[in-house]
Chain A
Amino acid sequence: MGIRLSESIKKVSIRLDLKRKWYRFSRSPLSIVGLVIAVSSIILAMAAPYVAPYPHHAGLFTNFKEAFQPPSSGYPFGTDDCGRDVLSRTIFGFQYSLMMAVVVLSLVIPPGVISGLIAGYYRGTWVDTLVMRIADIFIAVPPLVLALAIAAVLTPSVFHAMMAVTLMWWPWYTRLTYNTASALRNEYFVQASEVMGANSFHIIFREILPCCLGPILTKVTLDVGWVILLGSALSYVGLGAQPPTPDLGTMVADGGKYMPDFWWISIFPAVAICIIILGFNLLGDGIRDMFVEEAK
């Protein structure tokens, strides 16, 4: 009977934990809105070729007969100066924006987190100084200037825009992880594992890193929005994706020439940018609430 009781408690405790996390997240309706927006934009981006009414309008395509059509039942978001459907191009724009975020963040997180962990673990030594000062140097360069420099030396393209964003973004992860790790470094449980003879690798990756994951995950979610914004900004000034790539920033820039008469060309992609960023920010806030409660 004792065994059965403990078995049932065990099952309950695991479920309780997930349930509690979800409860904390779902307490705020805005987090749910964020989650819905984030998930649906990801689905939309992946299913773009099937969802978009005119998938071929995303590439090289011109139909000047249909140019500058206002929103109608045939073209819900209207058409642009080359007669391409704005709705289709906006849906494909999600692909580029999210790809930008995924590529940049997956390039940024490993070096940022690892350097931050190492600097935090060796706080107060020369390792700390070296890593953090290098991070400071990268933070000191404004991203647009860096992107301009890279575009001037190489050619403006999506790849080079990603490179520029990556180069300026990793130090923020270094700083975040550094702060968390250096505070954790003096916790008793870290010292306890040190006392038990754990090596530095174990302490950094098995003791400190798991405790840093909450803030990192929150920052990642919030950053998706910011990276998309920066990517769109770079495209807007002509340093990112080049026409005819359906990038949201490029589309806003192209339509700018025809404002305010043909407003739909710029406004719909701009609204799409706003919605994606808003969605990921709300999601990030929800995830933060989930972990902040946990930390108490």
Chain B
Amino acid sequence: MRRQNNRVNQLLEVKGLYIGYKTYIGKLKVLNGVDFMVHKGEKVGVIGESGCGKTTTMRAILRILSTNAVIDGGEIHFRGNDVLEMGKKQLNEMRRNNVTMIFQDPTAALNPVFKVGELLADVIKYSGKYGSKQASKKEIHGKSIDILKEVALPDPERVLDSYPFQLSGGMRQRICIAMSLATAKDLLIADEPTTNLDVTIQDQVLRLMKNLVEKRNLSVILISHALGTVRGTVDTVYVMYAGNMIEAARTEELFSNPLHPYTQGLLKSVPKLTGAGFSEGIKGRVPDYINPPSGCRFHPRCDRALDICRKEKPRFLNIDGNNHKVACWLYGKK
């Protein structure tokens, strides 16, 4: 009974996703069986080093992988439909009305030859959210201003009449958020939305996003390097390493009781204001994806590696009743 209830609540489920990239020197086996799940209204954070496959996973969900990417296996279910099997029409329908993404670089995410007003008008016209395509110019103008006011942009009239390069990074990212949220209804994927902004603006943008998302009861996947950002924003955290989800738990649980040696290392590597000396960090780097390590991909960097770690990949299992999942041989046998 409880399981069934869970099913109804679940919005997105990624199961055993394997993705590689074909290159001249060989095939990069990046994603190595990613599993994760987003429920309705849940805010999920994904953290991990650069190059561990976070962005690849998110792009797979929206099917905007580059042309040399190969999906080797796995399923992505969005509201019960397999995204990887969708036709063009269904896919566009999903992109228009259900899922949206905010990119890392707000300077590049707006077409430089159009004014903000024209960009917004396109989104409003095609979203279908604001009625039919025959929306009059006046209506579109009014709605554009409403949208800009919603993301707390001052002087929306002037912003509508500006080209993207005339605005600051924070303003542009807010416009990106405004455009995404003008269409999305269920899930927002934010791929390091604050990386290119300075710290005060980061805070503003994150707060704004959080408010809008809570107001509309959207689900969110927030990708970030910044552990502090993740801790303050999301309900559930997934830790990703070299193409695998290695740990997942409620935010407080994960930060207070990290289980995987990688997560422990990651949390230790954060410089503390009170502590003396340098933070510890994790030795080594993300592995080479052409010949990834056998078994658990983290074993060459792991202090506590066992024999079995070299041979077999640990499964991503629930180790207590509290939905704290971890993929490590140190906890639980097969």
Which residues from chain A sit less than 8 Å from chain B, CB to CB?
2-3, 6-7, 9-10, 13-14, 17, 123-125, 186-189, 191-199, 202, 206-207, 210-211, 213
Contacts and interface: CB of A to CB of B under 8 A. Distances in A.
A197 B93 contact: yes
B158 A9 contact: yes
Contacts of B176: 192
B161 interface: yes
Given A189-B110, A192-B176, A195-B62, A6 B103 contact: no
B95 interface: yes
B183 A196 contact: yes
A13 B159 CA distance: 11
Contacts of B112: 189, 211
A194 B123 CA distance: 11
A162 B18 CA distance: 55
Contacts of B158: 6, 9-10, 13
A10 B155 CA distance: 11
A199 B88 CA distance: 9
A188 B332 CA distance: 43
Contacts of B122: 193, 198, 202, 206
Interface residues of B, number: 39
10 A-B pairs closest in CB distance: A197-B96, A197-B95, A188-B108, A188-B109, A189-B111, A124-B67, A197-B92, A210-B113, A6-B157, A192-B109
Contacts of B127: 196-197
A18 to B, nearest CB: 13
19 contacts: A10-B158, A13-B162, A124-B67, A187-B108, A188-B103, A188-B104, A188-B108, A188-B109, A189-B108, A189-B112, A193-B111, A195-B95, A196-B96, A196-B183, A197-B97, A197-B126, A210-B111, A210-B114, A213-B113
A193 B3 CA distance: 37
Given A196-B126, A197-B95, A199-B92, 18 more contacts: A6-B157, A6-B158, A13-B162, A125-B67, A188-B103, A191-B64, A192-B176, A193-B122, A194-B64, A195-B95, A196-B123, A197-B92, A197-B126, A197-B183, A198-B122, A206-B122, A207-B111, A210-B113
A13 B179 contact: no
B149 to A, nearest CB: 13
Interface string B150-191: 000001011001110010000000001001100100000000
A9 B68 CA distance: 47
Interface of B: 62, 64, 66-68, 92-97, 99-101, 103-105, 108-114, 122-123, 126-127, 155, 157-158, 161-163, 166, 176, 179-180, 183
A124 B21 CA distance: 14
**Which interface residue of A7, A125, A186, A192 has the most chain B CB atoms within 10 A?**
A192
B161 A14 contact: yes
A196 B111 CA distance: 14
Contact of B105 (A188, A197, A207): A188
Contacts of A213: 113
Contacts of A202: 122, 126
A194 B95 contact: yes
Nearest to A296: B165
A10 B100 contact: no
B289 to A, nearest CB: 21
